[in-house]
Structure 1
Amino acid sequence: MVLDKILSIGGKPGLFKLLTQTRSGFVGESLLDGKRITVGIRSNVSVLSEIAIYTLEEEVPLREVFQKIKDKEGGKKTSISHKVEKIQLEEYFFEILPNYDEDRVYASDIKKIIQWYNILLDNKINDFSDTDDTDDEKVLASSNEEE
């Protein structure tokens, strides 16, 4: 999966691509300007593939939220900016994920999600499908049905 190499680093704007690990941390490349940075092991780092969004029933992986945005926008950038008012952000996100938990998902979170989605699209990262074994099982099951 592509998102397991994309990082959000606390205190740094935008997203970073994991290039290599070092003894004391790792080297990342900014998806905004291409600059490389060395990040220490103590830094607050989140891998996008590990982030989930709270809903009223469960947690939805960020990749699924990105896929819903992609479907809504027809594969293009979002129709709103991450800089719009809080109420507009919440209305937009409600269209994407109608059952998100409004008490635990803040406007700042929605802002980041919209900004990250647009950054990923700018960097031609737009495959948010799940590529684990369950897809292989579905393909195998459908090929068995044809026989």
Structure 2
Amino acid sequence: MNLQGIVAVSGKPGLWKALSQNKTGFILESLDAHKTKLVANLSTAKLAALDEITVFGYDDDIKLTDVFAKMKTAANVPDAKADGKKLRDFFKEVAPDHDEEKVYASDMKKIVSWFHILKDLPFFNEEPATEAPAAEEAAPAADGTKPAVAVKKTVATTAPKAVTKQPAPKATAKPKATAKPRRAE
């Protein structure tokens, strides 16, 4: 599944696709039928890229993409409005080593609702853009020395990686008074 560029915005329901970036934030489009546009200002909105979200686990955190992959193969995914016990049982099936004390029912409802939004979209079933293929390790030269190995190149992404704090705008100088105040005599 290719979740690159799909974000959740704090305070806004649903999921959003990052279309482009401007100097103040990101231009987003909702994934629902309305295709609402939104300019998310980085100084006020918090964005979370779905391909970087993890779920608390006992040993290691579980990637959200792994949870979605198991949800795709699950027999029946409950509705997001199901009770907490039903969601907990479902999460024990798709993420058996999630930390039950740290993963709340509200988190599970949000993940299930995101799954229901994404499951019918075409990019949900396609593979993510992969990095450039790594160079094969070359065979040793005839004299027994190993040749230099090429450096692995990575592909730049356009998805928001993290919310960074923008520098504060420069303060403007106050206008000077045109007339000097009179001194009392």
Q: How does 1:81-96 map to 2 (within 5 A)?
A: 81-96=79-94
> Which structure is higher in helix share?
1
Moved over 4 A (4+): 128-133
- Residues 12-44 of structure 1: per-residue CA shift (max 9 Å, x gap): 000000000011001100001211111101211
Contact preservation (8 Å) 2:20, 2:26: yes
Please identify the structure whose Cα radius of gyration is greater: 2
SS of aligned partner of 1:92: helix
The reply on whether 1:122 has 2:123 as its aligned counterpart is no
Aligned to 2:74: 72
TM-score norm. by structure 1 comes to 0.81
SS of aligned partner of 1:38: strand
> Which structure is higher in strand share?
1
Q: CA deviation at 1:96?
A: 0.7
Contact preservation (8 Å) 1:63, 1:128: no
Report sequence identity in percent.
33
> Quick one: which amino acid aligns to residue 58 of structure 2?
L
Name stretches of at least 5 consecutive residues in structure 2 with no aligned partner.
137-185
TM-score norm. by structure 2 comes to 0.65
Q: How does 1:41-60 map to 2 (within 5 A)?
A: 41-42=42-43, 43-60=45-62
Equivalent-residue separation in structure 1 for 2:88 and 2:20 (angstroms):
37
The reply on whether 1:11 has 2:11 as its aligned counterpart is yes
Contact preservation (8 Å) 1:6, 1:15: yes
Equivalent-residue separation in structure 1 for 2:82 and 2:25 (angstroms):
35
